[in-house]
Amino acid sequence: MTLIDRVEEEGNTLAGIRKLIRERTGFDLGLDKNYLIEGRLASMLSAYGCESYDSLAHTIDSDPLAYSDFVERITTHETLFFRDESLYTALAAQIIPEWLNRSQTGRLSIWSAGCSTGQEPYSILMILQKAFPQVFERTDMRGTDISSVTIARAKQGIFTSHAIGRGLSEDFLSRFFRVTDTQYQVNAELRAKVDFEVHNLQDLPYRGQYDIIFCRNVLIYFDHPLRRLVLEGFRKCLKPNGVLVLGSAESVQGYVDNYIIRECGLARYYEFNAPNVTIFPRSAG
């Protein structure tokens, strides 16, 4: 048997579970991701008494506890406070000041989509509380993730010393956290500001109207048709002059029309529904 034949055979044994991953999470995992699927789900076979991945797929599809376990294992939760510092610099130096120029008395509405264990929405709120306390008071923050386990952890706002040491300055640590043994908890004021909830980005249309949407390092796991649907969904729930912040390896180009590419230092983000919007031609994809 050739290497190609063996890969195809191994892929066929995981075909059912790959289909389930795509249907339930939107993640598009091909044959080259077999190692990832097996590495994250292999221990579920014995845990749920399954002899094959097809049997495991059936269990996941019928058992809510197995489904919750499955989503927690298959999704990626790699994140840290102030990830990609240039974007937070742009938030303080350009995005929020421009919003203030348009809305002196209104409320600021932000959605952190795919927020994982909460570092992103908490980082945003720390910036607002420190640099724009008057805006912080009238900010509505929503944080969503597909994993119920992850959302439960985000609500608690408790982080290990390892997580705290990745991207968090001493100033922010002393100002916004309290120490609990060897762990650190986000203060009650910040935790009360975030409406955390379980949400699957495949569930369209999206509710709410937002000034800023953060969705970073999520679209890279979706296939092209789903990326287009998600981005169109974001566009529809952004207010006039609303902005979308994606990961550094992600772009709206080729998926949606009518947007402006904005830059601030090394940061890039996208403005939608603006009166001076530029129409970019959509490429095939």
Span 171-215, pLDDT tens digits: 999 999 998 778 999 999 999 999 999 999 999 999 999 999 999
pLDDT attached to residue 4: 32
Q: Over range 107-132, report the average pLDDT.
A: 97
Q: Crossing angle of helices 148-156/64-74, nearest 10°?
A: 70
Q: How far apart are CA 280 and CA 273, in angstroms?
A: 13
Cα distance between residue 5 and residue 10, in whole Å:
9
Do 27 and 21 meet the contact criterion of CB atoms below 8 Å apart?
A: yes
pLDDT of residue 76: 78
Q: Residue 276: which pLDDT band, with cuts at 50, 70 and 90?
A: low
How far apart (Å, rounded) are the C-alpha atoms in residues 10 and 40?
A: 16
Position 3 pLDDT exceeds 60: no
Cα gap 244→237, rounded to integer Å: 11
| Whole-structure pTM value | 0.89
Tell me the β-bridge partners of 110. Answer: 141, 212
pLDDT of 5: 38
pLDDT at 154 over 90: yes
